[in-house]
Amino acid sequence: MTADLRKVRMGLQACLLGLFALILSGKCSYSPEPDQQRTLPPGWVSLGRADPEEELSLTFALRQQNLKRLSELVQAVSDPSSSQYGKYLTLDHVADLVRPSPLTLHTVQKWLLAAGARNCHSVITQDFLTCWLSIRQAELLLPGAEFHHYVGGTAETHVVRSPHPYQLPQALAPHVDFVGGLHRFPPTSSLRQRPEPQVAGTVGIHLGVTPNVIRKRYNLTAQDVGSGTSNNSQACAQFLEQYFRDSDLARFMRLFGGNFAHQASVARVVGQQGRGRAGIEASLDVQYLMSAGANISTWVYSSPGRHEGQEPFLQWLMLLSNESALPHVHTVSYGDDEDSLSSAYIQRVNTELMKAATRGLTLLFASGDSGAGCWSISGRHQFRPSFPASSPYVTTVGGTSFQNPFLITNEIVDYISGGGFSNVFPRPSYQEEAVAKFLNSSPHLPPSSYFNASGRAYPDVAALSDGYWVVSNSVPIPWVSGTSASTPVFGGLLSLINEHRILSGHPPLGFLNPRLYQQHGAGLFDVTHGCHESCLNEEVEGQGFCSGPGWDPVTGWGTPNFPALLKTLLNP
């Protein structure tokens, strides 16, 4: 038999097996996943149809059980007024709670087997299944999908995606939330290198944010470091061909870490660490998590998305569902516009964040670097919230600048600091009082048509995001800015607080927001001056929300005053 005939036979066999599975199910009509992203993002170019025999991996998110109970448990273990506070679930307990039903597992496995899927791998919670198929098999499995090669982004990333929506057999629709690896394009980094401000004279000034500047501003002493024990750890995640280099970290610590005890190497890399050039964002995350959370064991989750069919953020979520022992604090500088994601995808990711919260993980996400954001619907402008920053189950970190860029002074809003109100998630009960007070008292509210006042409001906290020094590819780089900087700084300080809690016999902080809002931002410097950017039109003239006393959707409750924050969060 020739190779061509063999390919034809394999294709026919896959088709017949797929039809056979549908006939057994008694259904041959299809229902599409709603709201699938089909718009090609700016900067991406199609290189044409993919080879039908090319291999790709797809991730199937299987329908979970007991989600209402999961939500109740998040509240119980995260609310200091609950008798269950701090009594976190193990991964096995979470798996017992959310594991798909036997019918779901059997139906999906039968469907994939009939289509020729191979090398399928699940996770401990059994709610994700990743399989390899040829392009031909994938297009037969998911009618409507049509895979193309694309290239785009600053790193000229190559991906395989479908510009068209796929459909699921009706018999499968109740069992599969979504199929990953088809539509979502990697978001590009919004990290910026700003021009150096001009200043006259040099007495008493600093020339950019370094670990010592952070430690001075947030009142850390040389003794405010970890003990170096293995029972406390922290982590950051790197995506999209972003890598750190050990040599850069070592040089950074030689340059800027001389005044405090620290570790000069990462304790563990989970995933594949690339050998290419270091990325500024990955370097920034690692260097400032390890200098703010000084001398604490640090992991790096590396999900570069090297294979063209992979979605790195989805890979990271699956890693969390497959490790029973995890660092207590995770910082992530990643986000997408809410409106670019399907409702099925965004709700399922939110469930994954709930799973992490029940296990006592503190997840911090950057609020984004586009202020309130902006997009146009039928000719009308609206602000554009970001996800996962808008999830009710993460702590979102905004950004600030020094009032005087060369002096360690009070902080004001960094105009790029992401913030606003979700169009997907309603306002959670823990922030009801704070957000209502802001909406009723702010003298500078944008027109109500620009935002969903009843949505989950973010950020929750903030830290310096302007003018950082980073070492990348052996070169010290100044004036790097973005909430990708503020997030690992805040995460590192929470790791130091966890150190004290663990040594005192208390559980780690876990999901912080219920406690943070109950204590009305105690232990934080309130940021009350400045506004962030938004739509450049005549109605709002580029201005989004403005900060003010108490919580606001630009800097949250404010920036850390470490001794006061430690005192506030140390005891249950």
pLDDT tens digits, one per residue of 325-349: 999 999 998 888 999 888 999 999 9
526 is in an annotated binding site: yes
Burial of 50 per CB tally in 10 Å (0-12, 13-18, 19+): buried
Residue 572 pLDDT grade (very low, low, confident, very high; cuts 50, 70, 90): confident
Mean pLDDT of 298-314: 70
pLDDT of residue 29: 46
* Closest to 430 (Cα-Cα) out of 519, 366, 348, 558: 519
Given 224, 241, 285, 352, the catalytic residue: 285
Mean pLDDT of 203-210: 73
What tokens appear for 243 in the block?
């890598």
Where in 467-529 does DSSP place strands (E)? 468-472, 475-481, 524-525
527 is in an annotated binding site: yes
What CA–CA distances, in Å, run from 560 to 77, 96, 490, 552? 24, 38, 7, 15
The full DSSP string for 45-80 is EEEEEPPTT-EEEEEEEEPPS-HHHHHHHHHHHH-T
Mean pLDDT of 14-24: 42
550 is in an annotated binding site: yes
Residue 3 pLDDT grade (very low, low, confident, very high; cuts 50, 70, 90): very low
Instruction: Determine the Cα–Cα distance for residues 359 and 498; give it in Å rounded to an integer.
Output: 15
pLDDT of residue 6: 41
The angle, 0 to 180 degrees and rounded to 10, between the axes of the packed helices 91-98 and 343-358 is 140
Query: Does residue 206 have a pLDDT over 70?
Result: no
Alpha helices (runs of H) in 118-221, residue ranges in sequence order: 135-141, 211-217
CB 225 within 8 A of CB 446: no
Residue 22 pLDDT grade (very low, low, confident, very high; cuts 50, 70, 90): very low
pLDDT of residue 44: 78
pLDDT of residue 379: 84
What tokens appear for 130 in the block?
């990743």
pLDDT tens digits, 243-287: 788 999 999 999 999 899 999 899 999 987 666 677 888 899 999
pLDDT tens digits, 348-388: 999 999 999 999 999 999 999 999 999 998 889 999 999 99
The pTM is what?
0.90
pLDDT of residue 390: 98
Domains of the chain, start order:
30-64+99-180 (no CATH), 211-570 (3.40.50.200)
Mean pLDDT of 520-527: 97
Stronger pLDDT, 471 or 160, i.e. the higher one: 471
Q: Is 484 a catalytic residue?
A: yes
Which of 41-50, 300-309, 390-399, 432-441 has the least mean pLDDT? Answer: 300-309
pLDDT tens digits, 134-162: 999 999 999 998 898 888 766 677 788 88
In angstroms, how far apart are the furthest CA atoms of the chain?
83
Mean pLDDT of 219-239: 90
Q: Is 281 a catalytic residue?
A: yes
CB 300 within 8 A of CB 244: yes
Residue 14 pLDDT grade (very low, low, confident, very high; cuts 50, 70, 90): very low
- Is the omega angle on the peptide bond into residue 459 within 30 degrees of 0, that is, cis? yes
Residue 242 pLDDT grade (very low, low, confident, very high; cuts 50, 70, 90): low
Given 190, 370, 390, 484, the catalytic residue: 484
pLDDT tens digits, 544-558: 999 999 999 999 999
pLDDT of residue 253: 96
The alpha carbon of residue 499 and the mean position of all alpha carbons in its chain are separated, in whole angstroms, by 24
Whole-number average pLDDT of the chain: 88
Query: Does residue 36 have a pLDDT over 60?
Result: no
Query: Does residue 21 have a pLDDT over 60?
Result: no
Given 127, 139, 281, 338, the catalytic residue: 281
Give the 3-state secondary structure of residue 455: strand
Tokens 């999830």 -> residue = 391
Q: Is 285 a catalytic residue?
A: yes
pLDDT of residue 10: 45
